[in-house]
Amino acid sequence: MPATDLDQIVSLCKRRGFVYQSAEIYGGFRSTYDYGPLGSLLLRNVKNAWIRSMVQTRDDVVLIDAAILGPPQVWEASGHLGNFTDPLVDCTNCKTRHRLDKLDDPRVCPECGAVDSFTEAREFNLMFKTQAGPVEGAGSDAYLRPETAQGMFTNFAQVLQTARKKPPFGIAQVGKSFRNEITPQNWIFRTREFEQMELEFFVPPADSPTWYEYWCRERMNWYVEHGIPESMLRLRAHDDDELSHYSAGTSDVEFMFPWGFDELEGIAQRTDYDLKQHAEHSGERLDYFDPQTNERYVPYVIEPAAGATRTMAAFLLAAYDEDVINDETRTVLRLHPRLAPYQVAVLPLSRKDTLTPLAHEVRKVLADRYMVDYDETQNIGKRYRRQDEIGTPLAVTVDFDSLDDNAVTVRDRDTTEQVRVPIADLVGAVANKLGF
């Protein structure tokens, strides 16, 4: 059973070192989170799994890593300076602030229940503004990017030239984005600093609808392949009044969060809006000349845009399970082996000096290929439970027999089945079980 309550995951994550409140020793900083020893590995694995599917295993997508700081011109051209706003209302009764478009009833304050207590809605720009250089003033204005996408558009011509690609092809990016959200909420679901995984896929305009369908299917499959049950996912097409200023059609991949279905990823048909805007504002040519047809055109763009941190929360919620092993209830994170912080745990049966050298040898062999946890504290049952709770798919136990038979016991997280494997065959056996 996946977690039905966000608190189950939040407390597990704090207890085990996945996610901490940022600057907690100073009382915590406004819906900002730090990723601990396990969380940073899980988050990295989510991003790597995305890169593997979207870049590594394809021949039509390249990866970039663009700057977070950008000049106002980029955001003028993209429309973010003018349009990237949320309607904001204040409750005159309890003084709380809300996003009008997220209220269940636009007349009722969700905090105090007052009716018609809201001020007129004001449009609030979500970008973080700062200054580049020591002198304050218009010339030094800079913005933290609110999405990674614009880096793909501003670098379009350079990538086209250097990567020897032609439409249909994509530019992908994974990295931090910043939005001054009015109501950050639900743990790492909505924060002001977060990570995105975005692809801009450039296609001949006529092929745009076909590619849109293609990416909707691909992206739904990605979540299922990485362990989210199909029953917890849905693809929801936006109504016309929900569409962004650039979009000719958007569908959201939604996950069944404890508070209901909510967005994990948006797949948008951005048409030629962004390339045309940047071409116009920069004076640079941002199009493609097809030598086969002798035609010059501005490609259309399909954009699957996912949140890495938000997706991480979904993977955790879906993976959470409790079952009974030998009359004892255990908590187990059934994370996909590619996502689990550690793929293998090496557990010497006892702390005795006689076992330690061999256990470290085993750890070293595995650590060359996998992220390995080494733990020799507490009794073995407790250590298995800990590994179950942090989602480690395999535990390798080195015991006193290992000194004679040169073999170890490999325990499976999900079935708790144990098999004896010669150390010489261990890496192959682990690869076989993990699937990579």
Q: Which positions lie near ligand ATP, rule CB under 6 A?
A: 147, 179, 181, 190-191, 194, 196, 263-266, 305-307, 309-310
How far is residue 272's CA from residue 276's CA, in Å, rounded to a whole number?
Answer: 6
Query: Quick one: 244 or 416, whose CB is closer to ligand ATP?
Result: 244
Query: Quick one: 147 or 218, whose CB is closer to ligand ATP?
Result: 147
Which residue is at the shortest CB distance from ligand ATP? 307
Shortest reach from residue 253's CB to ligand ATP, in Å: 8
Q: What sections of 125-247 are H helices per DSSP?
A: 149-154, 156-163, 208-225
Query: Quick one: 308 or 421, whose CB is closer to ligand ATP?
Result: 308
Q: Which amino acid is at 139?
A: G
Residue 74 makes CB contacts below 8 A (sequence gap 6+) with 143, 150, 154, 278
Query: Quick one: 228 or 306, whose CB is closer to ligand ATP?
Result: 306
Residue 33 makes CB contacts below 8 A (sequence gap 6+) with 19, 20, 21, 22, 187, 188, 191, 309
CB 348 within 8 A of CB 361: no
Of the candidates 395, 405, 350, 338, the one whose C-alpha atom is nearest the C-alpha of residue 48 is: 338
CB 285 within 8 A of CB 314: no
Shortest reach from residue 435's CB to ligand ATP, in Å: 27
CB 65 within 8 A of CB 45: no
How far is residue 279's CA from residue 275's CA, in Å, rounded to a whole number?
Answer: 6
Query: Quick one: 179 or 338, whose CB is closer to ligand ATP?
Result: 179
Residue 38, H or E segment: helix 37-51
Shortest reach from residue 3's CB to ligand ATP, in Å: 19
First to last CA, the chain: 27
CB 17 within 8 A of CB 36: yes
Query: Quick one: 145 or 179, whose CB is closer to ligand ATP?
Result: 179
Query: Quick one: 39 or 266, whose CB is closer to ligand ATP?
Result: 266
Q: β-pairing, 169-178 with 61-64? A: parallel
Residue 199, H or E segment: strand 193-203
Shortest reach from residue 265's CB to ligand ATP, in Å: 5
Max Cα–Cα distance, the chain, nearest Å: 78
CB 228 within 8 A of CB 320: no
Shortest reach from residue 191's CB to ligand ATP, in Å: 5
Q: What sections of 227-370 are H helices per DSSP?
A: 273-282, 308-319, 356-367
Shortest reach from residue 181's CB to ligand ATP, in Å: 5
Q: What sections of 355-395 are H helices per DSSP?
A: 356-367, 380-390
Shortest reach from residue 178's CB to ligand ATP, in Å: 9
Query: Quick one: 80 or 413, whose CB is closer to ligand ATP?
Result: 80
Q: Which two tokens stand for residue 162?
A: 């250097």
Q: Which two tokens stand for residue 214?
A: 């293609």
Shortest reach from residue 215's CB to ligand ATP, in Å: 14
Q: Which two tokens stand for residue 202?
A: 């450039």
Shortest reach from residue 107's CB to ligand ATP, in Å: 22
Query: Quick one: 305 or 390, whose CB is closer to ligand ATP?
Result: 305
Shortest reach from residue 242's CB to ligand ATP, in Å: 9
Query: Quick one: 267 or 366, whose CB is closer to ligand ATP?
Result: 267
Shortest reach from residue 84's CB to ligand ATP, in Å: 9
Residue 367 to residues 97, 304, 342, 421, Cα–Cα distance (Å): 49, 34, 10, 17
Query: Quick one: 263 or 321, whose CB is closer to ligand ATP?
Result: 263
CB 233 within 8 A of CB 255: yes
